[in-house]
Amino acid sequence: MSLDKDTVRKVATLARIKVPDSDLDHMAKELSGVLGWIEQLNEVDIAGVQPMTSVAQMRLKMRADEVRDGGDAEKVTQNAPEGAHGFFVVPKVVE
């Protein structure tokens, strides 16, 4: 895929990147090269290949889902500067 200067200018505007007019030809050539490389990758047959999240096979460590240190509002709010019946008191932010 070949890009022209107008397309590069539009992409730069959308990306909020300032590209001087003198660099548009060079940028068009570079971006065309990148898009050509992506077209090459699209030609690879990946049927039957499962998506990967990493190059190394990994499993997340699982832990038991259990309740700990909860349900005691007075203990949780004991260090709060100001509390009201087991709840935190915060400054009013909406008037």
Measured CA to CA, the distance from residue 82 to residue 91 in angstroms comes to 11
- The whole-number average pLDDT for the span 34-40 is 94
Q: What is the mean pLDDT of residues 53-70?
A: 80
Q: What are phi and psi of 30, to 5 degrees?
A: -65, -45
Residue-level pLDDT at 30:
94
Average pLDDT over residues 74-88: 74
Q: List, as one string, the DSSP characters of 47-76.
A: TTPPP-S-SS---PPP------S-S-HHHH
Pinpoint the alpha helices (H) of 1-95. 5-14, 24-42, 73-76
Mean pLDDT of 72-80: 76
Rounded CA separation 20/13 (Å): 11
The average confidence (pLDDT) of the chain is 86
Section 24-30 average pLDDT:
94
Task: Find the radius of gyration of the CA atoms of the chain.
Answer: 28
> Helices 5-14 and 24-42: crossing angle, nearest 10°?
90
Q: Is the pTM of this model over 0.75?
A: no
